[in-house]
Amino acid sequence: MRSGSINPLIADGQIIGAIAQGLGIALLEEAAFDPETGQPMATSYLDYVIPLSEDVPDITIEHHVTPSPIITGGFKGVGESGIQPPPATVGNAVANAVPEIAAGLTATPLSPSRIWTLLEDAGLEG
């Protein structure tokens, strides 16, 4: 590794962590509030589910280095790039698999109970 360059293993860790966060947004995490009091309904991680390391699939990362021409050292941000694709990817996968509920896929998380409700509403429950 050259002096002044970013360690690719650290960049990989940031990307994988961001993908895990994106999967949490897509499938698990919901900031629910009591509609009357406005108080958060999650008081611990038993109520607010986040992805664990075993929930994240194996990820292969390839680096394509394109230094910034306007920043000294050519550095760019990397960690936030992984958080944005998972919610859209999961939503599109569900919409593709079950087009009858695609119009109802308007919020995350796409939890089992939310998907089941959409299936029931579409008359597709098992």
80 is catalytic: yes
Catalytic residue among 29, 80, 120, 125: 80
Nearest by Cα to 21 from 49, 62, 40: 49
CA 110 to each of CA 4, 52, 61: distance values in angstroms, whole numbers, following the listed order: 42, 17, 26
Two tokens, residue 65: 């280095």
Q: Is 46 exposed, middle or buried (0-12, 13-18, 19+ CB in 10 A)?
A: exposed
| Catalytic (active-site) positions | 80
